[in-house]
Amino acid sequence: MATTDRSPAWTDALEAYTRHLRSERGLSEHTVRAYAGDLDLLAAHAEGLGVRDPALLELRSLRSFLAAQQVRGRARSTLARRAAAVRRFTAWLVRTGRADQDAGALLVNPKRHRELPGVLRQDEVRALLDSAAAVATGGPGGADEAEAGAPRPAHPSDSDPVAVRDVAVLELLYATGIRVGELCGLDIDDVDRSRDVVRVIGKGDKERSVPFGRPAGRAVDRWLTVRPELVVAGSGPALFLGRRGGRVDPRTIRRMVHSRLADVDDAPDLGPHGLRHTAATHLLEGGADLRSVQELLGHASLATTQLYTHVSSERLRSAYAQAHPRA
């Protein structure tokens, strides 16, 4: 995590903390990298103030760090994340005996401005899924992996496994609202067709079971019939494979979702997380209670799920403004 020009004290602390995040807290590699970058910035700022050892951090140096980030125009969400990273780090320093006082205990997190996530209308979701299904039954497939230089069939047909996979991926993302990383981590045995649920390992290695509907189940069944066409020696139990036979990469899925949405007239350019937002919003609009949606999405805090109630309210107000004669 630390750069080579850090002091020995900072280097040792940052590397030990990175190991703690990976092994003890079980955070995803993406989250670990984000925290690592935040704390490396803190170390650079602190050393610029003459603080060569994290044990010597004081509240004023932490506030100075956040103020410098704000002057550089960092978004409030970024400032809030960096403040949270600093507070966790200084608490860890005290807990592990590396510091006598927790300099970040009184550091206030900047209030985050939560923007409403973009979502698809139900007719746009239908158009997306219909378009992907049409590709899988005759149109060119596998456009998502063209950039990787993978071989593609000269004459795509209704058996092109990548196009069939894409339909199953889109159906499952919308049906369950799972994260793209969770989807790519699925193994075949994680799908229970007897109960129509999928076992998901989420953030912090927390396991949950998420139900899915019949369209998603049929799409997964069809994918499993053509999956052997992509299997290679190293495929293992991965549910979704790339064209070369390895476990599909989240970047591949993101490219595919953007590509498929480009085929839907006037649809917003969303990635897989947009389908997660869409699934949550449609569940709430359909009458699902907030606690159930929280459990399905794997949110640790109900406050995170409550964001989708604002999305639903905004959509309702927009529809009212367009439709009511005295709006």
**Known catalytic residue at 35:** no
The residue ranges of DSSP E strands in the chain, in sequence order, are: 191-192, 197-201, 207-211
- Indicate which residue of 81, 179, 227, 282 is catalytic: 179
State whether residue 18 is helix, strand or coil.
helix
Strand partners, 241: 247
Amino acid at the residue 170: L
Are residues 230 and 243 in contact, defined by beta-carbon separation less than 8 angstroms?
Answer: yes
Helices (H), 177-271: 180-184, 214-226, 250-261
Whether 299 is catalytic: yes
CB burial string 10-42: b at 16+ within 10 A, e below: bbebbeebbebbeeeeebbeebbebbbebbbbb
Three-state DSSP class for residue 297: helix
Residue 30 falls in the annotated catalytic set:
no
Which residue is catalytic, options 81, 82, 282, 299? 299
Closest by CA position to 126, among listed 176, 179, 171, 180: 171
Instruction: Please pick, among 17, 35, 174, 308, the residue that the annotation labels catalytic.
Output: 308
What single-letter amino acid sits at 191?
V
Cβ(116)–Cβ(309) under 8 Å? no
Q: Is 174 a catalytic residue?
A: no
Which residue in 105, 73, 89 sits closest to 35, CA to CA?
Answer: 89
Distances from the Cα of 139 to the Cα of 131, 136, 164, 228, 287, angstroms: 10, 6, 11, 21, 37
Backbone angles phi, psi at 191, to 5 degrees: -95, 120
Q: Which H or E run includes 22?
A: helix 8-23
The whole-angstrom separation of Cα 169 and Cα 240 is 8
Residue 203 bears catalytic tag: yes
Write down the catalytic residue from 33, 112, 199, 273: 273
Question: Catalytic one among 203, 244, 258, 315?
Answer: 203
Q: How many Å apart are CA 16 and CA 10, to the nearest integer?
A: 10
For the record, the structure tokens of 55 come out as 């044990």
Provide the residue type at 120 as one letter.
L
Active site residues: 179, 203, 273, 276, 299, 308
